[in-house]
Amino acid sequence: MKTNKLALSIFAATAMAASASALATDMYIDLGSNVYDDTVILPNSTQITGAAFDADTTTSIFTEFGFSQLLATSVYDATMGPIGLGTTFYDTNKTSDFVALGINPTISGTALDTITPVTLSQPLPGQVDVDNLSPLTDSDDVEGFGNTWQLTTEYFLNGVISASGPMYTSGSFTITFESLISASTFVALEASLTGSNIAGPNLDLFFEITSAADNFLYVKAPGSGFVDVFDMLASGGTPTIRLDTNVNPPLPQDYQLLALTDANGDVAVRQTTLDGTFVVNVPEPSSIAIFGAGLLALAGLRRKAK
């Protein structure tokens, strides 16, 4: 019994150490090539070269990814009656989900209040992209961000309506790199939802990163230097994303909802636009080593107890 208590104590202590790291929001992106910085796309779509901000391949340090007018589409289950407390829903910006709902590319009708006209549409390119690497601007060292390359979002989130508003329970969030001067594209980050918090219109979503592009995003770890998110995952760390936005009103209103159907039956759909930010955090590197040591100690004690 003493051995079991000691083992649990070691495990709990190391788990606490692993989760106690402070937020680390300083970040930079390494494009691996200076071609994006050296190229400029003019308003008439002409490309010119020789205008590089500097000779390196990395952006300046920024602290947040910012977005504005992100199109948020919520699909509420209407098979059990009126939309309200306990209603399940999903949020999506995936083209295949819009097509399944008959939003291809738009659909119009009268809202559930039987008065208000509603038009739903697939998102425009400017409604799925990351708008800025805050607090950097176009005149800073952003390596051509927003001109020769961009980051786009894709998400699918499940949730349920609680007394205070939407509560998200599962889902995925993907950030994709897209070159605007070549056919290059790749997934920069993939993350899985772990929870949410809503207070008034303010909504926070929490994710654990499950995959990352190698040598792309570097985040400053607490008490250490910058680490590649890819390497952090490979070493057993758990980088996270916290997304901060506003949903107003938090609960859907009849004048916003259009009745449609999806593969599961009757639904009611609301669209709003969101402004906000998201940050990537990594645990302190030493906490990973401590956590690993704790697991080894726990395994050793179990062997001795046999």
Q: Which domain holds residue 102?
A: 23-283
At 164, give phi and psi (nearest 5°): -95, -10
Predicted confidence (pLDDT) per residue in 20-67, tens digit: 333 547 999 999 999 999 999 999 999 999 988 899 999 999 999 999
For residue 89, the Cα-to-chain-centroid distance in whole angstroms is 18
Q: Within this chain, do residues 189 and 63 fall inside the same structural domain, yes or no?
A: yes
At 288, give phi and psi (nearest 5°): -65, -45
Q: Within this chain, do residues 152 and 40 fall inside the same structural domain, yes or no?
A: yes
Q: Within this chain, do residues 111 and 11 fall inside the same structural domain, yes or no?
A: no
Helix (H) or strand (E) holding 13: helix 2-19
Looking at the structure of the chain, the number of domains it has is: 2
Q: Within this chain, do residues 259 and 303 fall inside the same structural domain, yes or no?
A: no
Q: Within this chain, do residues 204 and 138 fall inside the same structural domain, yes or no?
A: yes
Predicted confidence (pLDDT) per residue in 67-107, tens digit: 999 999 999 999 988 999 999 999 999 999 999 999 999 99
Predicted confidence (pLDDT) per residue in 148-164, tens digit: 999 999 999 999 999 88
Q: Within this chain, do residues 38 and 53 fall inside the same structural domain, yes or no?
A: yes
Q: What is the CA radius of gyration of the chain?
A: 23
Q: Within this chain, do residues 11 and 54 fall inside the same structural domain, yes or no?
A: no
The pTM for the full model equals: 0.85
27-29 and 217-220 beta bridge pairing? antiparallel
Q: Within this chain, do residues 251 and 163 fall inside the same structural domain, yes or no?
A: yes
Q: Within this chain, do residues 99 and 215 fall inside the same structural domain, yes or no?
A: yes
